[in-house]
Chains A and B, each alone.
Chain A
Amino acid sequence: GAGVSQSPRYKVAKRGQDVALRCDPISGHVSLFWYQQALGQGPEFLTYFQNEAQLDKSGLPSDRFFAERPEGSVSTLKIQRTQQEDSAVYLCASRTLRGFDNEQFFGPGTRLTVL
């Protein structure tokens, strides 16, 4: 593919519902990041994978948030029992692993609205 893709692009959930957000990184990109971006704010780091290993999940706001990348390619961010404060754009980014060549390629994001 030409870039990082995310699905769905928009998701409306009722409070208490579970949601799953998908990220397809650029083929061959080892590293994958999830960010949460609230309106008018910068992206906030959630979690980071290198291949299938989740190396850092310090940014996940609560144990309702769970991310996986079982085969080191596609990743899913799952939010259980959604709350209104979870409403945000969820961005996925991928990058290669070549020394300090750290350019992150972002997907278009999934806009989650929790009613």
Chain B
Amino acid sequence: GQQVMQIPQYQHVQEGEDFTTYCNSSTTLSNIQWYKQRPGGHPVFLIQLVKSGEVKKQKRLTFQFGEAKKNSSLHITATQTTDVGTYFCAGSRYGQNFVFGPGTRLSVLP
């Protein structure tokens, strides 16, 4: 079945440093979503990518969808303590159901 992997599993950064998490799917995706889950909270939607090679920006966050639509990345510039949480990618083959990756847990040291 479809598998979604993420690396790294954990990332500790100093406030102000950049952070990147990578997502890889075993199958070609129709679209990919990114979610953030704060400690003790529930996943909150960040963005959806649909097109091959697509790049989207949200303030300090940059999201990319690979040309082959099998991988994606999330890059945060100049991290802040409010960025703490676990970032999940979720891929869909047909646009309906999504398979979540295991997440990357980000810690930001002030």
Contacts and interface: CB of A to CB of B under 8 A. Distances in A.
Interface in B1-51: 4, 31, 33, 41-45, 48, 50
Interface stretch (A10-18, A38-46, A68-76): A38-46
B99 interface: yes
Nearest to B48: A102
Interface stretch (B52-60, B62-70, B72-80, B89-97): B89-97
A113 B42 CA distance: 18
Contacts of B48: 100-103
B33 A102 contact: yes
Contacts of A66: none
A91 B33 CA distance: 17
Contacts of B103: 41-42
A12 to B, nearest CB: 18
A20 to B, nearest CB: 20
Given A42-B103, A106-B44, A108-B41, 8 more contacts: A42-B100, A43-B90, A45-B97, A48-B97, A91-B42, A100-B50, A100-B95, A102-B33
Interface of A: 33, 35, 41-45, 48, 55-56, 91, 93, 100-109
Interface of B: 4, 31, 33, 41-45, 48, 50, 88, 90, 92, 95-103
